[in-house]
Amino acid sequence: MLLHDDRLLPAEPVTRGIARRLYAGVRDLPIISPHGHTDPRWFAEDKPFPDPATLFVKPDHYIFRMLYSQGIKLEQLGIARKDGGEIEGDPRQIWRLFASNWHLFRGTPTRLWFEHAAFSIFGITERLSAESADRIYDRIAEQLEQDAMRPRALFERFKIEAIATTEGALDPLKWHDMIRESGWGGKVVTAYRPDSVVDPEFEGFRDNLDQFGELTGEDVGSWTGYLEAHRKRRGYFIERGATSSDHGHATARTANLSPAECEKLFAKILKGKFSAEDADVFRGQMLTEMAKMSLDDGLVLQIHPGSYRNHNPHLFEQFGRDMGSDIPRGMDYVSALKPLLDAVGNERGLTVIAFTLDETSYSRELAPLAGHYPALKLGPGWWFLDAPEAMLRFRELTTETAGFYNTVGFNDDTRAYLSIPARHDVARRMDCHYLAKLVAEHRLDEDEAAEVAHDLAYRLAKEAYRL
Amino acid sequence: MLLHDDRLLPAEPVTRGIARRLYAGVRDLPIISPHGHTDPRWFAEDKPFPDPATLFVKPDHYIFRMLYSQGIKLEQLGIARKDGGEIEGDPRQIWRLFASNWHLFRGTPTRLWFEHAAFSIFGITERLSAESADRIYDRIAEQLEQDAMRPRALFERFKIEAIATTEGALDPLKWHDMIRESGWGGKVVTAYRPDSVVDPEFEGFRDNLDQFGELTGEDVGSWTGYLEAHRKRRGYFIERGATSSDHGHATARTANLSPAECEKLFAKILKGKFSAEDADVFRGQMLTEMAKMSLDDGLVLQIHPGSYRNHNPHLFEQFGRDMGSDIPRGMDYVSALKPLLDAVGNERGLTVIAFTLDETSYSRELAPLAGHYPALKLGPGWWFLDAPEAMLRFRELTTETAGFYNTVGFNDDTRAYLSIPARHDVARRMDCHYLAKLVAEHRLDEDEAAEVAHDLAYRLAKEAYRL
Amino acid sequence: MLLHDDRLLPAEPVTRGIARRLYAGVRDLPIISPHGHTDPRWFAEDKPFPDPATLFVKPDHYIFRMLYSQGIKLEQLGIARKDGGEIEGDPRQIWRLFASNWHLFRGTPTRLWFEHAAFSIFGITERLSAESADRIYDRIAEQLEQDAMRPRALFERFKIEAIATTEGALDPLKWHDMIRESGWGGKVVTAYRPDSVVDPEFEGFRDNLDQFGELTGEDVGSWTGYLEAHRKRRGYFIERGATSSDHGHATARTANLSPAECEKLFAKILKGKFSAEDADVFRGQMLTEMAKMSLDDGLVLQIHPGSYRNHNPHLFEQFGRDMGSDIPRGMDYVSALKPLLDAVGNERGLTVIAFTLDETSYSRELAPLAGHYPALKLGPGWWFLDAPEAMLRFRELTTETAGFYNTVGFNDDTRAYLSIPARHDVARRMDCHYLAKLVAEHRLDEDEAAEVAHDLAYRLAKEAYRL
């Protein structure tokens, strides 16, 4: 049997009993998915998903990272080369390669997510292996053709109450318009991700700016026009349901320059004669500008810092961005966030959500900051930290200083649509695991733990993201 | 029932059984409180404490930090503004606000400390809430008028064998004199905290120096006179029972300059034309000077580094210091402590106790350092790290390298008098929790664990601090 | 009874049952010891070990560090001073001092290792103490004279299938030759540790280089000749069984300069007019050069960075290197390893094993790097991190991102021969402890866990190190 009912709950019987009761209270709650990277086109077109390999293997950087680390080439996994070079074209071959390396995923969240989807969506009850690969492939493939497996049907089956996608500032949001116009009732909203027009080092930044000006009708050659363009564009996103912006900078640095300094820096950026330091300050300034705009338009500001993107230049040259070679770095949030917090940290109407890939900052910096500043909340474990043990550490390292109510529930943050129920289920189980320990050690009463479990599974995300 | 007898002990029955036995051996030991911030005036005057809000809410930065982070204004909690602006004046209203936000403290040590005090001192047996607020307020308020609730009576009820307060170098220590002269037998000693005359960036440093000169009759305009003033003042504190000095610098940096360099630096400091770097070196040099004086006069040197004080400038402007916006930072102890350790680290008669707010340094730096240098001991979890999970991590991260005997037992480090028994009780329970795990996993025999539990609860603090 | 059969296994009965079964499957597997510091002379000469103090106390920096930290002088432990000054000469006195301080080792791995050796090799069943010191001394001393206690007999008794020693590049490897020529079947191989001819700041670097030139017949005054000398010397080591090189630099920094830059830098180094920065770049460049040579000759590259050597200058002056005052520092692997990974990180035929003394890098940097780069594997917990709790954290912090198969099993990394079975046993128990938790929480099936336990205890080390 792939999925045990008690998976991820503590082994100790009394504690497990408590955890079971807590989990029973939250397992069937609707899903609030306030931040992620699913493709709005799926919901707009509602077409069937293709074959199992294209669904599970090729788009999942958790999967191909691990396979690559063990010597398997991305070409063997059917991942497109930028030069159009030859790659594996047969999804069944890709699937077999994946299946015969399934042991690599022991102890990883990929294992939990895949088996949850395979069992609960496709009814698979045997373990993936070289031997079972073809049977499982066929079983999934045949079901993918059914109407019940289309994006919207799954949306309802997954009990998604609301989901946010993430689009660049230049995105026309046509799929979101199409969803709205379709009359379908699923709540799919966008989020404003302006990195391509905020980061001077982004590929094509100057061209992006030109396009940004055209889209908004603002003079993006002036600092005030540029800010106005953001305000307008945020409004455009808000009309398509956006309740948040999102920012994926290399560091958590923020800045709060005077208007005159901003104009001068922006002019320098526009001329293209800026240093790496200038670019970093500019990105930092824009976080503060975005926070100030949030005071007016109510968008929640998300900061996802600390990833060294494309650490492997060979892979980047051959396959492009997001190919699994992003690596976390140590972050200093205490200095980095100070300019922004000085400007708006005491605002009660603002929500800034800080994420981290550096868990050493949980107890030392982020919990003390979120446990003090009214505007600052702490995002859940992200990316390399969205797995069971890491989730437990997140609670152990933050709760004693920041409590539960300076956190914002769970984000799946995924482009792997079928893993969404699995990811929320893992988060709910691990929160119940943690809470059950508190109850078993008489640090919290069970009625309170039940309320907290509900808040973490549903209410906090809904409220923090205003969904 | 608020307090379960087995709270904080491991849930697994065999391990809990061991933990219970270990805890039974230490629960009633006298309290050694070798470092903290209670007000000696309480013990000198022995007046009743005022109302519940003034006792529990207004002075406790753990409590108002959390409430502030969730949008409650400090004015609503009755905390005085520097400009004398309007604040809530009715303690019952403050109490109600606190009570109706009690859920925010779930999973925090504040919860444990408050409920321990409420139950064991005031006999409160119901959970705090908006609904129970008034009943609990009244019950505490009426008891506060009784003689049994005065500072000295509580001192005896708490079984405090010795407690250290902390006073600035310029403090006349009149309350300590009054305690001694009163004939009361409670052991209340002071500790020498010279930050205001050691840190060139301290508010009023120059005036403080002048006062320091007057108090000691030394020429504090010369380096040798300045050192002599410290020696004399330490002597004055030692006469009032001091066994330790304490230093709260922004970093753990130490220095060991030649006398000529010291004179030059001190002259620069006196002229007021010094850089931030100069100030930092000076503070670092003074740690080493203090350690050298300790070789003569026997004071234990405590270093509490790594807090970014007053991170929130708005709060600092409006309410002053210590308003909950101190945030920890990463520390490098290996370089920082080296000059001091080079000078005196091998001295067997000296005790330097290092504390940290950066738990990443436990296994990487502090345990290896304390597990090597005869003069260096490791202080217990401090501030954001004085909670159950953090205490467990402290033992897990330090014991394998430094053992138990390079640590110094527990410090409550609090100004919240009523929480002292609770804090020591939490520490005793968590040490027994950890020890019981070692016994249950056959890594330590139970008779040894019992001895260690006793040492951690009583003997190590008494010996390390010479109390 | 010193050793409980279930020691280190989880206390919870169901989990312990699983752990027992897993451990039963690996407890008697042969030992692969792919990296360590035993003395090949022992195996060459096969002479009896001397007295208990010389065997257990004097050479073990874990033991004398702890004793030193508590005020015991190294002279009292019979450790030789550089000035030939007086030291304790009676091994029984040293043993008594050790025994009467045995409580200091509670909760440390030293305790586990010593008791394992004392019981399983010498049949000691009572706890060490001042009272039992002489009895235990006598019992061990009398057995040390028996043939069964000689190095080769113990090798077989310990079921060592292969062991690697570590020798400097200038070592003639005569003991390895002697072992081979003796006809004894024990597999004892060397490893290439060229720090003394790679680190410009190593004592006697220039003389070492001259000797290196003589040994290899190459012109080490030229960059190409110097590299060729390494190639030849590696070949010499490979003929004596070496399958790995090892590099103990202060940081993990690597470099990848052009050949022209290398020549220029090397010339500067040879002239002796180099900065600390030059030396650091040179060491970093040599790591990359070694990795490139590994592409040809197949040696596994081990990087052991991050120790601040000889932190205590007084001890260094009086007693020399390796006297217990090496202290870990924080490391940034993401930048440091990038030049090397850019050069060879995607090579499937290469194995680079990174170790760390900074466990904050496990989840943030090392697991993400090892979980991506085909050439990079993650070494086990090292030095201060080779203890039970630290081993558990290693798995908890790395498995969710890197899985089990980007790690390389266990290294004992010891010069304490008698502790080798104990160290491997602790590692096997802790891996089973961790795996049992995964099984009990239904995150892994027991048949898979059994396979992983076997891989971690035996196969991964054998394969990674090509032994």
Q: What is the pLDDT of residues B183-232, one digit of tens each?
A: 999 999 999 999 999 999 998 999 999 999 999 999 999 999 999 999 99
What mean pLDDT comes out for the span C4-10?
Answer: 97
Whether B301 and B247 have beta carbons less than 8 Å apart is answered as: yes
Does the beta carbon of B187 lie under 8 angstroms from any beta carbon of chain A?
Answer: no
A256 residue type, one letter: N
Whether B298 and B292 have beta carbons less than 8 Å apart is answered as: no
Can you tell me the ipTM of this complex? 0.97
Q: What percent of chain B has pLDDT over 90?
A: 98
Instruction: Please give the pLDDT value at position B34.
Output: 98
Instruction: Please give the pLDDT value at position B324.
Output: 80
- Portion 365-384 of C in contact with B at CB < 8 A: 384
Does the beta carbon of C390 lie under 8 angstroms from any beta carbon of chain B?
Answer: yes
- pTM for the whole structure: 0.97
Does the beta carbon of A183 lie under 8 angstroms from any beta carbon of chain C?
Answer: no
* Residue C230 token pair: 């390494």
| β-strand partners of B192 | B167, B245
* Residue B364 token pair: 């990487």
Does the beta carbon of B207 lie under 8 angstroms from any beta carbon of chain C?
Answer: no
Chains sharing 3 or more CB pairs under 8 A with chain A = B, C
- Which residue is listed with tokens 């550490």? A393
The secondary structure of residue C355, as a DSSP letter, is -
Distance from CA of C71 to the nearest CA of B (A): 5
The secondary structure of residue B250, as a DSSP letter, is S
Residue in chain B closest to C66 (alpha carbons) equals B371
Long-range contacts of A141-148 (CB under 8 A, 24+ apart): A141/A51, A141/A52, A144/A48, A144/A49, A144/A50, A144/A51, A144/A52, A144/A55, A145/A48, A146/A48
Mark yes or no for CB contact C360/B364 under 8 Å: yes
> Which of C313, C327, C329 lies at the smallest CB-CB distance from B342?
C313
Cα–Cα separations (whole angstroms), residue B239 to B41, B190, B191, B302: 18, 10, 11, 19
For residue C156, the SS3 value is: helix
C-alpha to C-alpha distance for B127 and B2, rounded to whole angstroms? 7
Does the beta carbon of C109 lie under 8 angstroms from any beta carbon of chain B?
Answer: yes
C-alpha to C-alpha distance for A199 and A279, rounded to whole angstroms? 7
Mark yes or no for CB contact B108/A451 under 8 Å: no
Q: Sorting pLDDT into bands at 50, 70 and 90, what band is C321? A: confident
Distance from CA of B325 to the nearest CA of C (A): 26
Tens digits of residue pLDDT in A102-114: 999 999 999 999 9
For residue A328, the SS3 value is: strand
Residue B1 pLDDT > 70: no
Residue A213 pLDDT > 90: yes
Residue C324 pLDDT > 90: no
- Portion 316-335 of A in contact with B at CB < 8 A: 332, 334
C-alpha to C-alpha distance for B416 and B147, rounded to whole angstroms? 19
For residue A388, which residues of chain C lie inside 8 Å, CB to CB? 400, 443
> Which of B71, B103, B358 lies at the smallest CB-CB distance from A374?
B71
State the average pLDDT for chain A: 97
> Which of C334, C396, C442 lies at the smallest CB-CB distance from A7?
C442
- Which residue is listed with tokens 């002479």? C47
Mark yes or no for CB contact A70/C365 under 8 Å: no
Whether C240 and C173 have beta carbons less than 8 Å apart is answered as: yes
C-alpha to C-alpha distance for A71 and C376, rounded to whole angstroms? 11
For residue B393, which residues of chain A lie inside 8 Å, CB to CB? 396
For residue A16, which residues of chain B lie inside 8 Å, CB to CB? none
Does the beta carbon of B465 lie under 8 angstroms from any beta carbon of chain A?
Answer: no
For residue B107, which residues of chain A lie inside 8 Å, CB to CB? 395, 399-400, 403-404, 438, 443-444, 452
> Which of A69, A106, A328 lies at the smallest CB-CB distance from C444?
A106
Whether B434 and B269 have beta carbons less than 8 Å apart is answered as: no
Does the beta carbon of C396 lie under 8 angstroms from any beta carbon of chain A?
Answer: yes
Q: Which of C361, C405, C432 to mutate to test the interface with A (most CBs of A within 10 A)?
A: C405
The continuous run of DSSP H or E covering A15 comes out as helix A13-24
A94 residue type, one letter: I
Residue in chain C closest to A62 (alpha carbons) equals C401
Cα–Cα separations (whole angstroms), residue B4 to B8, B192, B418: 9, 39, 19
Q: Tell the burial category of B463 from Cβ atoms under 10 Å away from its Cβ (0-12, 13-18, 19+).
A: middle
Whether B64 and B79 have beta carbons less than 8 Å apart is answered as: yes
Whether A114 and A425 have beta carbons less than 8 Å apart is answered as: no
Distance from CA of A218 to the nearest CA of C (A): 40
Instruction: Please give the pLDDT value at position C322.
Output: 84
Instruction: Please give the pLDDT value at position A451.
Output: 98
The secondary structure of residue A108, as a DSSP letter, is S
For residue B438, which residues of chain C lie inside 8 Å, CB to CB? 107
Instruction: Please give the pLDDT value at position C1.
Output: 60
Does the beta carbon of A459 lie under 8 angstroms from any beta carbon of chain B?
Answer: no
* Residue A215 token pair: 């889209």
What mean pLDDT comes out for the span B148-152?
Answer: 97
Rg of chain A over CA atoms, in angstroms?
A: 23
Does the beta carbon of B120 lie under 8 angstroms from any beta carbon of chain C?
Answer: no
Q: How, if at all, do strands C327-328 and C167-168 pair?
A: unpaired
Domains of chain C: 13-46+150-465 (3.20.20.140), 48-149 (1.10.2020.10)
The continuous run of DSSP H or E covering A295 comes out as helix A276-297
Tens digits of residue pLDDT in A367-395: 999 999 999 999 999 999 999 999 999 99
Does the beta carbon of B127 lie under 8 angstroms from any beta carbon of chain A?
Answer: yes
> Which of B363, B364, B373 lies at the smallest CB-CB distance from C69?
B373
C-alpha to C-alpha distance for A451 and B103, rounded to whole angstroms? 10
C311: nearest Cα among B284, B249, B357, B370 = B370
A68 residue type, one letter: Y
Residue in chain B closest to C306 (alpha carbons) equals B364
Chains sharing 3 or more CB pairs under 8 A with chain C = A, B
Instruction: Please give the pLDDT value at position A180.
Output: 96
The order of strands in the sheet holding A244-247 is A167-168, A192-193, A244-247, A300-303, A352-354, A376-378
Cα–Cα separations (whole angstroms), residue B149 to A442, B209, B423: 28, 40, 19
Instruction: Please give the pLDDT value at position B16.
Output: 98
SS (H, E, C) C357-421: CCCHHHHHHHHHHHCCCCCEEECCCCHHHCCHHHHHHHHHHHHHHHCCCCECCCCCCCCCHHHHH
What mean pLDDT comes out for the span B119-131?
Answer: 97
Strands (E), A117-187: 160-164, 167-168
What mean pLDDT comes out for the span C249-253?
Answer: 94
Instruction: Please give the pLDDT value at position A1.
Output: 60
The continuous run of DSSP H or E covering C114 comes out as helix C109-122
Mark yes or no for CB contact C368/A384 under 8 Å: yes
Mark yes or no for CB contact A106/C14 under 8 Å: no
Does the beta carbon of B418 lie under 8 angstroms from any beta carbon of chain C?
Answer: no
Instruction: Please give the pLDDT value at position A321.
Output: 85
Does the beta carbon of C127 lie under 8 angstroms from any beta carbon of chain B?
Answer: yes
Does the beta carbon of C397 lie under 8 angstroms from any beta carbon of chain A?
Answer: yes
Does the beta carbon of C2 lie under 8 angstroms from any beta carbon of chain B?
Answer: no
Q: Which of A16, A69, A363, A364 to mutate to test the interface with C (most CBs of C within 10 A)?
A: A69
Mark yes or no for CB contact C108/B15 under 8 Å: no
